[in-house]
Amino acid sequence: MIKNIGIITSGGDSPGMNAAIKTIVNYSNNNNINCYGIKYGYEGLIKGNFKKLSNFIVNNILSFGGTILGTSRSEKFKTKIGRKKAYNNIIKNKIDGLIVIGGDGTFTGAKKLYKEYKVPIIGIPGTIDNDIYGTDYTIGYDTSLNTIINNIEKIKDTAYSNNKLFIIEVMGKGLGFLALNSGISIGALDIFIPNNKKYNLKNIYNILKNWNINKYSNIIIVAENKKIGDSAKTIYKLIKQKFKNIDIRYNILGHVQRGGSPTYFDRILAINFGLESIKNLIKLKTNIVIGINNNKIIHIPFNESIKKKKKKFDKNIINIYDNIY
Amino acid sequence: MIKNIGIITSGGDSPGMNAAIKTIVNYSNNNNINCYGIKYGYEGLIKGNFKKLSNFIVNNILSFGGTILGTSRSEKFKTKIGRKKAYNNIIKNKIDGLIVIGGDGTFTGAKKLYKEYKVPIIGIPGTIDNDIYGTDYTIGYDTSLNTIINNIEKIKDTAYSNNKLFIIEVMGKGLGFLALNSGISIGALDIFIPNNKKYNLKNIYNILKNWNINKYSNIIIVAENKKIGDSAKTIYKLIKQKFKNIDIRYNILGHVQRGGSPTYFDRILAINFGLESIKNLIKLKTNIVIGINNNKIIHIPFNESIKKKKKKFDKNIINIYDNIY
Amino acid sequence: MIKNIGIITSGGDSPGMNAAIKTIVNYSNNNNINCYGIKYGYEGLIKGNFKKLSNFIVNNILSFGGTILGTSRSEKFKTKIGRKKAYNNIIKNKIDGLIVIGGDGTFTGAKKLYKEYKVPIIGIPGTIDNDIYGTDYTIGYDTSLNTIINNIEKIKDTAYSNNKLFIIEVMGKGLGFLALNSGISIGALDIFIPNNKKYNLKNIYNILKNWNINKYSNIIIVAENKKIGDSAKTIYKLIKQKFKNIDIRYNILGHVQRGGSPTYFDRILAINFGLESIKNLIKLKTNIVIGINNNKIIHIPFNESIKKKKKKFDKNIINIYDNIY
Amino acid sequence: MIKNIGIITSGGDSPGMNAAIKTIVNYSNNNNINCYGIKYGYEGLIKGNFKKLSNFIVNNILSFGGTILGTSRSEKFKTKIGRKKAYNNIIKNKIDGLIVIGGDGTFTGAKKLYKEYKVPIIGIPGTIDNDIYGTDYTIGYDTSLNTIINNIEKIKDTAYSNNKLFIIEVMGKGLGFLALNSGISIGALDIFIPNNKKYNLKNIYNILKNWNINKYSNIIIVAENKKIGDSAKTIYKLIKQKFKNIDIRYNILGHVQRGGSPTYFDRILAINFGLESIKNLIKLKTNIVIGINNNKIIHIPFNESIKKKKKKFDKNIINIYDNIY
């Protein structure tokens, strides 16, 4: 029977993680289960950095960006020695199960811990990139999209006033969920995603031949590639070279995309995921990632959730892109 | 063959209507179809208030709240004489089909116009109340929820500082979508919906016996009933009477809930709905309302969309409510 | 010599109070002075509710609305017995001086405590109403104005779309700083302030004879009078009666005006006031309220700061009003 | 006597320019003066790109970012031939006076046009950089500061969660008004301004020896130098080299700092400046820049306003910096 559980946030933080934490803590405490926060991701598991979480501690965190537990990308946890230490701390603290919130790196670690030590674990997808296979949405994605569009609306004001064309790089590790979806929702002139052959420069050259601030959008969106800024600069140079008469600038939105108070959508998603995770952990239905598919809360085996490269764009979005761009 | 179409926004305005308008106008113009905006809802149809919409006119409207076409609740259109006049203007302006954006009142009117004069019409659900049967979401609902939670976060600051309990009335015509969903996403102490028997005062009296600002939420949400303010005042009086030692206030959020720049979610939904509506109008697949169900764009017969009273809450939300409240 | 100080926030909370608290705490701790937070205003002084404040505790509060110390309007502190108890706790905790943040009620209490027990006190004006005599600005006023205009911009969207005129009531206890300044900055059709004879209904009747949504503003601002909602309803009825053809609504913004993260202006003002207060408390230059006058930080005797009724509007604002309205 | 006037926005756009335009247009039209908008700065003057501005056109622009007139940095206007063409268009359109909104480049041009052709001109300082000599504030500065702090609050969430230190570059052409003031209002660990000797690396090295996410701020602010990104990268490398154990990132906020709906402060400032400019143009009290000094609206000779390098920081801010940093 589950008496003590641990919560970990790992990898990049995302808005809504605290809403999931609060839900798990409240449900645990209300069902006589002790809930421990493990600080700074798997690092805290290795170091034994545990903190008991009361309802009082989480009373106000629903609206906070980031994660009150801290997070990290642990190199040590990738080693057998690291995971051994982690397991020892789990035993020492009598932790009966873990809930880990993060992305595919987080779930890869979780999977290994389960395989090696049979620790019951449930994963919750928390990343602004929406790149977890099997779930339609991840916690933080909607907030990030809204931050992106609010910032781009500001840039549109100045682009329009100055008769300029802006190339804006958004996050998303080259997979392009943030780029494609934000681009459509701000009416971008075009959208470029490095790893996706579909979206190339063929059309933009034609569009730009007749580009005019009053008729067309003044924003081109590019998805971040391996290094921050590379995508924006590459597209910028290619276009600048061909269209010397157009006044072009580039802008890299950067880390503002990760923070901020979660939106309605991310709060509800996080509360849903949190509730499903703790209810299943109690029933010992574990070693799964919680997801949402066509509005239904689902369970995804760890293995499947990790194959991020296959995740496809929403058909509706592709339909819009094909009809408008 | 469709040569000229008209767009109407009717009933209460909602954020995202302009994104739907822009999509329809762009797609029409790019496919050699003339697009006319009809001003102030069905009133404009009766008065012959038509305006041709170019891509230039709609270039910047994606981010605007409200509707550039204006809207109204037309009493005249409820009469046969009113609809006859409307039809005459449709003939006079050679309009081959209409797209109407609004709520159930709008669709009731549309249905009659089709029945009496065989005007091809497609409806798009645009209302912050999310009370259209057959579609999971309506345009404006997500923006309204975010406006509500952002404003309530401000009230929470002051409630917490002053050790007060706030009863906050949100819109939604008593059906309670805005109340239930915003309430959960801000961690309300309880949520009251006049027309829903499930949510009554039985629990709140128990909770309030031990109420304490540091342990519990300081917000109770109520859904608007027939008259603005009635719900808030009723609940306020009932609680105030029983708990004289608790410092209680009530607050009616009011019309701020209708306006503002649309969120990501509402923009994408509106673009999706707009695109589906114009593509189907061209194919003369009409007399339907466009909707979304489990992430799929669907077609709802007018008759079905109007029976708003049956629309049920999202199961996930009910699950959260039953487990947390 | 000052060894231990206490900080109190009293009366209505306002955004920026936490920025002042943080500044005082940091400066105290960095100068080897112990800093105690006294909870829930003068009530905490009477009850002996003191909490030592470290730099760690205040590390993140700069951006928080409300006050981490809590606040109240203490009836007991208005009595001699209440103040006697308060003084006993000051002695018991070896508090050498107090900094109180609040409005004129707060300073009235502070003045009495000084008079009766010679407790060194410095006041900081913190109220959204900007009704403290002697200082151009109070902490929270700028944030409140921005909250008001952001909410009214949302209402303008819907008013414009629906061809309606809105009467919006803002806070400010009838003195009208929030009403006059927000009204001008959103381009109100007219502004009504109950206690100010200058702004009456004489002009609005003339304007409304030709009122038209496309030419004129759709917003009338009224300042709250003694009871929330009274001003809005009174003006609403008077206008509604005379102009039956205009679709008019009223809206009461309510407590959202008090909360939220402080703006730049309020943060800087609060940091300035906080720094000046602690530096002067250390020098025992006390029994003053800190203020700002024409960009200079000034000291206002308690007596003067309390005469709120005399405070005049900014000449520039009056000039705008007289030239535009 | 003034019958026809022209308005120009020139240089970088800034939030609030439209509020000034609206005020000038309304006042002109209400006093039987024709008001012409000249498109894209001095370029429009050279090309004869004039558009008559009615009250209807400016009815809704108070809240819009950017400038509806467009702006540019005109190279042609720096030449005698360019200004000759401009003058010819002024004569041709019977323009009796100009109001130009912009920065020191704008006023340098204005001064020459006056000197060479005696065209009555009044300048309004509109720039987010606040680098105009003689005025305490420029239009757009307050909005930009609020955009900066709102975006940095988001970055703080993620910096805190990830135990990272962020170096954030803000605009301001190396003069540092935005850097110093935003830095203080978000509680930066330190603030660097390339052209200001006072703020160097001497202290930051000491602070960082004991840096700890729970005790100290996680943000360092740097002012943009000649090229976007240079300041951030320079400071980043210097610190990174010395403190290899600290996880440091840099972020360049970019053009989001220029756009968005103006804050209360910028609206009132713009309305004030607009009103003063048109009233003085009518009285032919011209060849001045409107400014604000210690809350009083003042007139600054063109010559003086251009010497931007001398402008000093607000004493209060320096006082805070010296006491806290």
pLDDT 10s per residue in chain B (325 long)?
899 999 999 999 999 999 999 999 999 999 999 999 999 999 999 999 999 999 999 999 999 999 999 999 999 999 999 999 999 999 999 999 999 999 999 999 999 999 999 999 999 999 999 999 999 999 999 999 999 999 999 999 999 999 999 999 999 877 899 999 999 999 999 999 987 766 678 889 988 998 988 888 999 999 999 899 999 999 999 999 999 999 999 999 999 999 999 999 999 999 999 999 999 999 999 999 999 999 999 999 998 888 756 788 888 988 898 888 7
Structural tokens at position C85 = 């108890």
Within 8 A of C12 by CB-CB distance, chain B residues are: 158, 162
Give pLDDT, residue D62: 96
Q: Quickly state the pLDDT bin for A230 (edges 50, 70, 90).
A: very high
Q: What does the pLDDT look like over C255-289, one tens digit per residue?
A: 999 999 999 999 999 999 999 999 999 999 999 99
Q: What's the CATH code, domain A142-258?
A: 3.40.50.460
Is residue D289 within 8 Å of residue D159, measured between CB atoms?
Answer: no
Residues in a beta bridge with C298: C291
Mean pLDDT of the region C184-210? 86
Closest Cα to residue A262, out of D154, B180, C154, C59?
D154
b/e burial code for range B112-131 (CB count within 10 A of at least 16 → b): ebbeeeebbbbbbbbbbbbb
Beta strands in chain A (DSSP E): 4-9, 34-38, 50-52, 97-102, 121-125, 165-170, 190-192, 219-223, 248-252, 288-293, 296-301
Q: Quickly state the pLDDT bin for C201 (edges 50, 70, 90).
A: confident
Q: What does the pLDDT look like over C286-300, one tens digit per residue?
A: 999 999 999 999 999
Helix (H) or strand (E) run with residue A146 in it:
helix A141-162
Give pLDDT, residue D142: 98
Within 8 A of A215 by CB-CB distance, chain B residues are: 55-56, 59
How many beta-carbon pairs below 8 A join chains B and C? 115
Q: Check pLDDT > 80 for residue A317.
A: yes
Most D CBs within 10 A among A149, A161, A165, A220, hence the mutation to make, goes to A161
Q: Check pLDDT > 70 for residue A308.
A: no
Q: Quickly state the pLDDT bin for D309 (edges 50, 70, 90).
A: low
Select, from the ranges A305-309, C5-9, C132-136, the one with the highest average predicted confidence (pLDDT): C5-9
Closest Cα to residue D113, out of D280, D286, D258?
D286
Q: CA-CA distance, B222 to B171, in Å (whole number)? A: 9
Residues in a beta bridge with A219: A166
Q: Quickly state the pLDDT bin for C325 (edges 50, 70, 90).
A: confident
Is residue C313 within 8 Å of residue C141, measured between CB atoms?
Answer: no
Is residue A147 within 8 Å of residue A20, measured between CB atoms?
Answer: no
- The closest CB to that of D255, out of A40, A64, A166, belongs to A166
- Tell whether B162 lies on the interface with C, counting CB pairs under 8 A: yes
Positions of D annotated as catalytic residues are 129
Mean pLDDT of the region D268-288? 97
Q: Check pLDDT > 80 for residue C197.
A: no
Mean pLDDT of the region A211-219? 88
Catalytic residue among A104, A129, A131, A142: A129
Is B136 catalytic? The answer is no
- Are residues B186 and A145, on separate chains, in Cβ contact within 8 Å? no
- Tell whether D212 lies on the interface with C, counting CB pairs under 8 A: no
SS3 A77: helix
Q: Quickly state the pLDDT bin for D169 (edges 50, 70, 90).
A: very high
Most B CBs within 10 A among A185, A265, A276, A322, hence the mutation to make, goes to A185
| Residues 227-266 of chain B whose Cβ lies under 8 A from any Cβ of chain A | 261, 263-265
Backbone φ, ψ for residue A33 (5° rounding): -115, 135
- The closest CB to that of C268, out of D62, D136, D181, belongs to D181
Within 8 A of A264 by CB-CB distance, chain B residues are: 142, 145-146, 149, 181-182, 185
Backbone φ, ψ for residue D301 (5° rounding): -60, 145
DSSP code per residue over B21-77:
HHHHHHHHHHTT-EEEEETTTHHHHHHT-EEE--TTTTTTGGG-SS-TT-----SGG
Mean pLDDT of the region A30-38? 97
Is residue B319 within 8 Å of residue B184, measured between CB atoms?
Answer: no
Q: Check pLDDT > 90 for residue A127.
A: yes
- Tell whether C211 lies on the interface with D, counting CB pairs under 8 A: no
Place of tokens 């002697």: C134
Q: Quickly state the pLDDT bin for C121 (edges 50, 70, 90).
A: very high
Q: CA-CA distance, B301 to A93, in Å (whole number)? A: 59
Q: What does the pLDDT look like over C67-118, one tens digit per residue?
A: 999 999 999 999 999 999 999 999 999 999 999 999 999 999 999 999 999 9
Give pLDDT, residue C292: 97
- Chain B: touching chains (3 or more CB pairs < 8 Å): A, C
Q: Quickly state the pLDDT bin for C307 (edges 50, 70, 90).
A: confident
| Residues 69-128 of chain C whose Cβ lies under 8 A from any Cβ of chain D | none
- The closest CB to that of C153, out of D59, D156, D261, belongs to D261
DSSP code per residue over D195-238:
T-TTS-THHHHHHHHT--TTTS-SEEEEE--SSTTHHHHHHHHH
* Mean residue pLDDT across chain A: 94
- Are residues D22 and C272, on separate chains, in Cβ contact within 8 Å? no
- Tell whether A215 lies on the interface with B, counting CB pairs under 8 A: yes
Q: Quickly state the pLDDT bin for A309 (edges 50, 70, 90).
A: low
Catalytic residue among C13, C96, C129, C266: C129
Most A CBs within 10 A among D255, D257, D258, D266, hence the mutation to make, goes to D255
CA–CA min distance B37, chain C (Å): 14
Q: Quickly state the pLDDT bin for A96 (edges 50, 70, 90).
A: very high
Closest Cα to residue C267, out of D176, D217, D146, D323?
D146
Give pLDDT, residue D325: 75
Mean pLDDT of the region D29-55? 97
Q: Quickly state the pLDDT bin for D324 (edges 50, 70, 90).
A: confident
Specify whether domain B4-140+262-309 bears CATH 3.30.465.10.
Answer: no
Q: Check pLDDT > 80 for residue D198.
A: no
- The closest CB to that of D154, out of A72, A147, A159, belongs to A147
- Tell whether D142 lies on the interface with C, counting CB pairs under 8 A: yes
- Are residues C186 and D153, on separate chains, in Cβ contact within 8 Å? no
Residues in a beta bridge with D7: D37, D99
SS3 C83: helix
Task: Choose between C202 and C180: higher pLDDT.
Answer: C180
* Mean residue pLDDT across chain C: 94
- The closest CB to that of A71, out of D147, D162, D251, belongs to D162
Phi-psi region of D293 (alpha: psi -120 to 50; beta: other; left: phi over 0): beta
Give the rounded percent of residues in chain D with a pLDDT score beyond 90: 84
Beta strands in chain C (DSSP E): 4-9, 34-38, 50-52, 97-102, 121-125, 165-170, 190-192, 219-223, 248-252, 288-293, 296-301
Give the rounded percent of residues in chain C with a pLDDT score beyond 90: 84
CA–CA min distance B66, chain C (Å): 5
Task: Choose between A115 and A307: higher pLDDT.
Answer: A115
As a dihedral over the C-alpha atoms of residue A235, residue A236, residue A238, residue A241, rounded to 10 degrees, the angle is 170
Residues in CB range of C25: below 8 A, 6 or more apart? C7, C35, C53, C54, C55, C57, C58
Q: CA-CA distance, A130 to A170, in Å (whole number)? A: 13
- Tell whether C161 lies on the interface with D, counting CB pairs under 8 A: no
Give pLDDT, residue C309: 59
A208-222, C180-194, C197-211, D81-95: which has the minimum mean pLDDT? C197-211
b/e burial code for range B310-321 (CB count within 10 A of at least 16 → b): ebebbebbebbb
Residues in a beta bridge with C100: C8, C123
* DSSP H helices in chain D: 17-30, 42-47, 80-92, 104-117, 141-162, 177-185, 202-209, 230-242, 264-282, 302-306, 315-324
Displacement of CA B78 from its chain's centroid (Å): 21
Closest-CA residue of chain B to C153? B260
- Chain C: touching chains (3 or more CB pairs < 8 Å): B, D
Place of tokens 């091809």: B120
- Tell whether C293 lies on the interface with B, counting CB pairs under 8 A: no
Structural tokens at position B95 = 């309009």
SS3 B7: strand
Closest-CA residue of chain C to B152? C256
* Mean residue pLDDT across chain D: 94
Q: What is the CA radius of gyration of chain B?
A: 21
**Fold agreement between C4-140+262-309 and C142-258:** yes
CA–CA min distance B54, chain A (Å): 10
- The closest CB to that of B264, out of A145, A275, A319, belongs to A145
Is residue A132 within 8 Å of residue A126, measured between CB atoms?
Answer: no
Exposed/middle/buried for residue D268 (C-beta within 10 Å: 0-12, 13-18, 19+):
buried
DSSP code per residue over D3-45:
-EEEEEE-SS--TTHHHHHHHHHHHHHHTT-EEEEESTTHHHH
SS3 C38: strand
Task: Choose between D172 and A116: higher pLDDT.
Answer: A116
Helix (H) or strand (E) run with residue D101 in it:
strand D97-102
Q: What does the pLDDT look like over D200-251, one tens digit per residue?
A: 787 899 889 989 888 889 999 999 998 999 999 999 999 999 999 999 999 9
Closest Cα to residue D262, out of D156, D131, D138, D100?
D138
Q: Where are the domains of chain D?
A: 4-140+262-309, 142-258
> Going edge to edge, which strands form the sheet with A121-125?
A50-52, A34-38, A4-9, A97-102, A121-125, A288-293, A296-301
- The closest CB to that of B154, out of C147, C154, C163, belongs to C147
Residues in a beta bridge with B8: B38, B100
